[in-house]
Amino acid sequence: MSPSDGWTAVNVKQRRQWDRELAHLLHDSKDTKAVILCGNLNCAPEDIDLSDPEKLKLEKSPAMHESGHSGYPGCRQSDREGLKWIMQAGRLTDAFRFTHPYSGNDQDSGNLQYTSLAYLGDKTRCAVRTNLTVCYHPCMLILSQLVSKYFMKNVVRCDIMGRSTDLVS
């Protein structure tokens, strides 16, 4: 599990260091080993991975005002850049997005799957649609399955099991 980006400059600094170190490790092994990196990378790589991108991107920390740091942790531009470094360094592909390509059509319900809820408080609570149900919290797809590009030929399927409502406690 990657460090949570959090709301403070210290959290962001730790996350950037972790991203750089993992990218360096993956770069050094990309030609010799098939890599499968799975788990909570605390980052929603694209807007399709957010149930409500506009609201999640508007969240701001009172302590952070730098460019690229507005938004809920995990969907900020700086978070996404770190994940891009990791994926490029290791020549990794998102297995879920590869097996469930997004056509740009909001009705493409196979893509509207989330693995985490973002608790933003009542000010941004809204009903969001997933492929299976209605959920009353903004959701994010942050559990990733990244696979070496040359190893993708071995991936038969990659699915998310369960429903977003299962995440509500």
- Answer yes or no: is 160 within a domain: no
- Answer yes or no: is 163 within a domain: no
Provide the pLDDT confidence category of residue 106 given band limits of 50, 70 and 90: low
pLDDT, tens digit, 9 for 90 and up, residues 22-38: 999 999 887 788 899 98
> So what's the pLDDT on residue 130?
34
The residues near 166 (Cβ < 8 Å, ≥ 6 apart) are none
> So what's the pLDDT on residue 92?
94
> So what's the pLDDT on residue 138?
60
Domain that holds residue 120: 9-153
- Answer yes or no: is 130 within a domain: yes
Give the closest residue to 52 by CA, choosing from 5, 109, 117, 104. 117
- Answer yes or no: is 159 within a domain: no
Rounding to the nearest 10 degrees, give the CA dihedral for residues 106, 60, 134, 140: 70
Give the closest residue to 26 by CA, choosing from 18, 42, 108. 18
Query: What is the total count of domains within the chain?
Result: 1
Provide the pLDDT confidence category of residue 148 given band limits of 50, 70 and 90: very high
The residues near 155 (Cβ < 8 Å, ≥ 6 apart) are 95, 98, 99, 147
- Answer yes or no: is 158 within a domain: no
Provide the pLDDT confidence category of residue 127 given band limits of 50, 70 and 90: very low
- Answer yes or no: is 70 within a domain: yes
Look at 103 and 16; give whichever has higher pLDDT: 16
Look at 162 and 123; give whichever has higher pLDDT: 162
Q: What is the mean pLDDT of residues 130-156?
A: 69
pTM for the model stands at 0.73
- Answer yes or no: is 132 within a domain: yes
- Answer yes or no: is 51 within a domain: yes
